[in-house]
Amino acid sequence: RRGHVPAPPLRRAALGLLLQVLLGWGSAQQPGSCPAPCECSETARTVKCVNRNLTAVPPDLPPYARLLFLTGNRLSSLPPGAFLSPPLSPLENRLELADNRLLSLPAGMFSSLPSLQHLDLRNNSLVSLQAATFHSLAQLQSLDLSHNSLKCLKNATIAQLRSRPALRKISLDHNTWVCDCCIEHLVSWLKESDQVEGKGALKCSYPDKIRDKPLVKINSSDLDCSYFSYMTSYVVLVISEIVTFHVFVQCLEQRGLNVIGL
């Protein structure tokens, strides 16, 4: 008959487990395990480091991560290699960077994530974009840039986004679009493409004359980008520079006279 005392192998296993727990307590994170500020699920292939006031991406994220949530932190800049830490290369699915403080996206920032499908940059402080940032994201399907401070998109950036056939959901609402000549390319893209979701809601923030006018309703007479008006403003600029220079030279001459006068 079996006694009340556990069999030796079982006892040894229990002791081993106890030792492991005691030794593992408070020790450094093992490579590939879940970083302290995050919650990880291997079955869901998800890592969530949400609302933790993080100022940098935690190092050594687990290699199974396919969905990475860094929402609601204090990330204000990310070095080009931010997602290069070796195990993270196959981040295929989703990268959530919403509700941070990102000011710019350096070229090559996402170059280690070539199979990323969904990128959420909502509610950051982005003022402009450069085409090279999106160069490597050939599989991108959705891109959320709403609630930022974008003023204009350059033609090269638009060309980069246009060249992504799978990219069908781009969000650009709640930005501070400046409706001067620079906005021309964005306006004509919006008019002819369905890539931008809810494009009718995009509005000019400046100048006051056409504030709140929908971008899709802007026409050439609103922008006044004619060669003549361009030349006029150029001539005015040149004249004002000449006047400034003249005043500066006069000022110098006066000082020179004073110096000689001493």
Window 7-46: contact mask with ligand NAG (x via CB under 6 A): ----------------------------------------
DSSP-derived secondary structure letter, 214: B
Minimum distance of ligand NAG from residue 147's CB (angstroms): 5
> CA separation (Å) from 154 to 56, 61, 89, 103, 183?
29, 34, 29, 17, 8
Nearer to ligand NAG, 68 or 186 (CB): 186
Residues pairing with 139 in the sheet: none
> CA separation (Å) from 248 to 238, 243, 252, 253, 254?
15, 9, 6, 9, 10
d(CA 155, CA 249) in angstroms, rounded, equals 41
Closest to 95 in 3D by CA, of 78, 117, 77? 117
Nearer to ligand NAG, 117 or 120 (CB): 120
Is 123 an interacting residue with respect to ligand NAG (CB under 6 A)? yes
Is 99 an interacting residue with respect to ligand NAG (CB under 6 A)? yes
**Amino acid (one-letter) located at 192:** E
**Amino acid (one-letter) located at 218:** I
d(CA 144, CA 196) in angstroms, rounded, equals 10
Is 159 an interacting residue with respect to ligand NAG (CB under 6 A)? yes
Nearer to ligand NAG, 37 or 63 (CB): 37
Of residues 219, 257, 259, 261, which one binds ligand NAG by CB under 6 A?
219
In this structure, the number of other CB atoms found within 10 A of the CB of residue 252 comes to 10
Is 221 an interacting residue with respect to ligand NAG (CB under 6 A)? yes
Contact 84, 109 (CB under 8 A): no
In this structure, are strands 46-48 and 39-41 parallel, antiparallel, or unpaired? Answer: antiparallel
Minimum distance of ligand NAG from residue 219's CB (angstroms): 4
Is 227 an interacting residue with respect to ligand NAG (CB under 6 A)? no
Window 59-78: contact mask with ligand NAG (x via CB under 6 A): -------------x------
Of residues 45, 52, 94, 118, which one binds ligand NAG by CB under 6 A?
52
Window 162-181: contact mask with ligand NAG (x via CB under 6 A): x-------------------
Burial environment of residue 113 by CB neighbours within 10 A (0 to 12, 13 to 18, 19 or more): buried
Nearer to ligand NAG, 38 or 68 (CB): 38
> Which residue ranges make up the site for ligand NAG (CB under 6 A)?
52-53, 72, 99, 123, 147, 155, 159, 162, 185, 219-221
